[in-house]
Amino acid sequence: MKAPIPKSLLVSSVALALAAISGSVTADTVSQDLTEARQETQIWTTYALSPYLRSLDLKVSVDNGKATLTGTVEEGVNKDLAKQIALGVSGIKEVDNQIVVQADYVPPARASSSERGFGEVVDDATITATVKSKLLWSKHTEGLDTDVDTRRGKVTLKGTATSAAAKDLAGRLAANTRGVASVDNRLTVKGEKARTVDAAKSSAGEAGHDIADAWITTKVKSTFMFSSNVDGSDISVDTKGGIVTLGGRVDSGAERALAIEFAQNVRGVKGVQAQGLTL
């Protein structure tokens, strides 16, 4: 005959089992909460970055793979965009789109007119980085001591330029950048003696080495893609021995001339052949 199990031992065993189960449930709950918080943040951040949704007062909550959207928009297309963005987030299986469409809706004003939204800050930072890159790639503005600042699409250039032509080119490179609304070109031109020395250094540098064709091709393509007036997706670029060959179709003679000019200004480019670039 088996000895009976002491009641105290039985109680302890049950308590330990319940504690283990409870601990597992708590860990799973915390993990689920973190996942849902990440999903909510990802959806909201994408709304904040979208030029169509950033100014709207939209709210997001996620529960077990289901996203609930609330708020007000001006058009049905914005409501659908909000839904599609939510569905694109990993783990979101269903969207309860409670957003109200109201034709005369006016988005809430910011507390301060000088305060930029999250999306605007990201846009401005992207523009600043793009303009700096284009100045760095250019054979005529590489040596510029330039500070680039962007606020709500307005670019301010400060520093020094080696010549009036370099200053003008820097301004045009900035103005032809996607997202730029205006350019305040405050660059000052160095003295004649400094320009002569810089020109000599630049010539010596160019003569001392050839820049890789692949690098040139990449930078020409990037310059086109970053431009607001050149459709880089329709232009092919090939470089051999520093000679850039452009092909494809453009919408106007002005776009063709601009594409050729941008290519010619990239460091290392010795010439541009654009016979294949047609209207």
- Residues 112-170 pLDDT 10s: 666 788 889 999 999 999 999 999 999 888 667 789 999 999 999 999 988 898 899 99
Q: Read off the pLDDT of each residue in 32-38 and give the average, rounded to a whole number.
A: 91
| For residue 204, pLDDT beyond 70 | no
Half-sphere exposure of 202 (CA within 13 A, CB side): 16
The pLDDT tens digits of the residues spanning 62-109 come to 999 999 999 999 999 999 999 999 999 999 999 999 999 998 988 877
* β-bridge mates for residue 148, sequence order: 157
Q: Read off the pLDDT of each residue in 2-9 and give the average, rounded to a whole number.
A: 58
Which pLDDT value is given to residue 23? 62
The pLDDT tens digits of the residues spanning 175-185 come to 999 999 999 99
Q: If one looks up domain 213-278 in CATH, what number appears? A: 3.30.1340.30
Strands (E), the chain: 59-63, 66-70, 72-73, 94-97, 100-101, 145-151, 154-161, 182-185, 188-189, 235-240, 243-249, 271-278
Query: Per-residue confidence at 206, pLDDT binned at 50, 70, 90?
Result: very low
> Where exactly are the structural domains of the chain?
31-109, 118-208, 213-278
Give the number of other Cβ atoms within 10 Å of residue 54's Cβ. 18
Which pLDDT value is given to residue 143? 62
Domain at 31-109, CATH from 3.30.1340.30, 3.40.190.10, 3.60.15.10, 3.30.1240.10: 3.30.1340.30
Instruction: Tell me if 31-109 shares its fold with 213-278.
Output: yes
Q: Read off the pLDDT of each residue in 192-217 and give the average, rounded to a whole number.
A: 60
The pLDDT tens digits of the residues spanning 237-274 come to 999 999 999 999 999 999 999 999 999 999 999 999 99
Which tokens belong to 104? Answer: 């005369």
